[in-house]
């Protein structure tokens, strides 16, 4: 009751005052940013900065700091020294967990990487254009490549451009560990300065949003600039190695572990499809294997139908190791052998349909019913039906588990007792009982042993490594923090 009273009181008193001053500060900053960006958005900054640009920088930094003060961030502690653009053209920030991670951007007026649509936001778009960001266009298929080239060009300009701040995790996590860094900031092969962010307040939880923020007073935000990291020759040639080494340096300074899962894995683990993935799914390990093969799920999604047709033609889906490698258009390697062994059910053969089904879930985790439709096309006989065994194989693969009792579900769908069902039968049942998975599948789900049976134990990064929520190491990663 006391907490509710305080929230109600703050809503009527402190909230409108803070909101007014924060909005006022943003509006006050707009004319300065607008004048500074007129006719100069695409030009390189002069060296040294002109006197009027220094004045605008100083005014905008002061206005933005006042805006954060009005929002409740009374203290912003800065440790270490920010490197000069000539020392480190790129600043890598982590962990990324909130909108308020923009504080160091407004304090330094460094450039950032943002979606192109942001520049059209009233008022805020003008402020964004002032810091000369690298814009990413979702409508341009070559946007990612162009973004990397622009970052490289600016990073190798000997300080003619402002420093670029990049959050290499790619999106927000819960600060419990550092997920895999994307290589974009490290492809230019230039020195970077790691920057770690902290929210020391105990009341500040994961995903701090605007509404709770305005109720808090004396919030503290800590920024720590670590020493500049200069890559070795090997790291320059291997951006992934460079990113991983910088991540370990930042994790050590933060005192948190690292995990090899990526933001895409987080999306997969937390997907809210009709066949919600269980916490022990091995599809996370499957996704890692797909990436290790150099395959990109976002590009494979459009090819799934073609892949499914070819899988059905290849001896009912059964292929050898050589055929599997040829199908993926890669050479036989330890990674391919590991994946093949994990999928293997018969001597020297795997069912390619299982690979396609799992790949479909990884490509579109929240659209599991589309995966079911795709799988039906691969498993169905000439009359368009599948058996209970086929359904069990489809669902076990789509959910990434080894033991799943689908008997009750199959009988509920097969009302006439024919011993076979069509995709239309399945869809009608799913429409009538949208929560069928929780009622028919998850209560009877047995303890996980293996997701896809194989005669030999799976390797640590194979398809079938269990993602066990009871495992102490797994509990440290940002996926299970929310899953549990």
Query: Using CA atoms, how far apart are residues 346 and 402, in angstroms rounded to an integer?
Result: 16
* CA 21 to chain CA centroid, nearest Å: 34
Task: Considering only CA atoms, give the Rg of the chain.
Answer: 26
Strands annotated E in 371-469:
385-386, 421-422
**Tens digits of per-residue pLDDT, 129-152?**
888 888 887 667 677 788 888 898
Report whether 471 contacts 350 (CB < 8 A): no
Closest by CA position to 192, among listed 78, 110, 97, 267: 110
For residues 202-208, give the mean pLDDT: 51
Report which of residues 21 and 9 the model is more confident about: 21
Supply the pTM of this predicted model. 0.68
**Tens digits of per-residue pLDDT, 423-456?**
999 999 988 888 787 777 765 443 433 333 333 3
Closest by CA position to 224, among listed 262, 253, 252: 253
The mean predicted confidence, pLDDT, of the chain is 78
Query: Using CA atoms, how far apart are residues 129 and 124, in angstroms rounded to an integer?
Result: 9
Query: Using CA atoms, how far apart are residues 239 and 155, in angstroms rounded to an integer?
Result: 15
Beta strands 192-198; 90-94: pairing state: parallel
What crossing angle do the helices spanning 14-37 and 51-70 adopt, rounded to 10°? Answer: 160
**Tens digits of per-residue pLDDT, 57-106?**
899 999 999 998 887 788 889 999 999 989 999 999 999 888 788 899 99
Q: Return the bridge partners of 403, or none.
A: none
**Tens digits of per-residue pLDDT, 396-415?**
888 887 778 888 899 999 98
Q: Taking the alpha carbons of 470, 471, 476, 477 in that order, is the dihedral positive or negative?
A: negative
Report whether 67 contacts 105 (CB < 8 A): no
Q: pLDDT band at 1, cuts 50/70/90?
A: low
pLDDT at residue 139, as a whole number? 66
Q: What are phi and psi of 64, to 5 degrees?
A: -65, -35
- What distances in angstroms separate CA 241 from CA 167, 232, 273, 439, one per listed residue? 17, 10, 34, 45
Residue 466 has pLDDT above 80, yes or no: no
């Amino acid at each position: 009751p006391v907490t509710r009273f305080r929230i109600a009181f703050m809503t009527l008193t402190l909230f409108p005052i803070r909101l007014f001053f924060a909005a006022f500060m943003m509006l006050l900053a707009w004319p300065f940013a607008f004048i500074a960006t007129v006719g100069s958005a695409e030009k390189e900054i002069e060296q040294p900065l002109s006197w009027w640009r220094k004045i605008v920088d100083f005014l905008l930094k002061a206005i933005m700091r006042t805006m954060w003060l009005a929002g409740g961030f009374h203290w912003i502690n800065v440790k270490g020294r920010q490197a000069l653009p000539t020392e480190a053209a790129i600043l890598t920030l982590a962990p990324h967990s909130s909108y308020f991670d923009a504080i160091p951007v407004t304090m330094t007026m460094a450039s950032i990487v943002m979606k192109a649509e942001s520049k059209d936001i009233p008022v805020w778009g003008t402020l964004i254009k002032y810091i000369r960001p690298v814009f990413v266009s979702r409508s341009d298929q070559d946007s990612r490549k162009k973004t990397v080239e622009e970052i490289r060009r600016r990073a190798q300009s000997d300080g003619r451009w402002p420093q670029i701040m990049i959050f290499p995790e790619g999106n927000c996590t819960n600060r419990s560990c550092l997920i895999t860094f994307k290589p974009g900031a490290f492809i230019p092969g230039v020195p970077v300065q790691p920057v770690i962010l902290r929210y020391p307040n105990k009341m500040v939880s994961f995903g701090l949003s605007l509404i709770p923020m305005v109720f808090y007073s004396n919030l503290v935000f800590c920024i720590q600039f670590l020493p500049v990291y200069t890559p070795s020759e090997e790291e320059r040639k291997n951006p992934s190695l460079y990113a991983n080494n910088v991540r370990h340096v930042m994790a050590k300074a933060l005192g948190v572990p690292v995990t090899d899962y990526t933001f895409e894995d987080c999306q997969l683990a937390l997907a809210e499809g009709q066949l919600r993935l269980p916490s022990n799914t091995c599809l996370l390990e499957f996704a890692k294997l797909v990436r290790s093969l150099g395959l990109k799920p976002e590009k494979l999604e459009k090819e799934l139908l073609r892949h499914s047709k070819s899988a059905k033609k290849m001896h009912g889906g059964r292929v050898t190791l050589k055929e599997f490698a040829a199908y993926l258009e890669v050479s036989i390697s330890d990674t391919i052998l590991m994946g093949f062994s994990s999928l293997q059910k018969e001597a020297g053969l795997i069912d390619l349909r299982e690979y396609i089904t799992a790949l479909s879930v990884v490509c579109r985790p929240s659209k599991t019913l589309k995966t079911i439709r795709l799988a039906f096309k691969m498993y169905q006989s000439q009359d368009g039906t599948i058996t209970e065994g086929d359904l069990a194989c489809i669902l076990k693969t789509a959910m990434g588990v080894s033991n799943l009792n689908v008997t009750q579900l199959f009988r509920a769908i097969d009302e006439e007792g024919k011993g076979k069902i069509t995709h239309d039968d399945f869809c009608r049942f799913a429409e009538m009982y949208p929560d069928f998975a929780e009622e028919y599948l998850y209560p009877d789900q047995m303890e996980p042993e293996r997701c896809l049976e194989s005669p030999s134990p799976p390797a640590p990064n194979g398809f079938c490594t269990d993602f066990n929520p009871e495992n102490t190491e797994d509990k440290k990663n940002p996926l299970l923090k929310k899953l549990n």
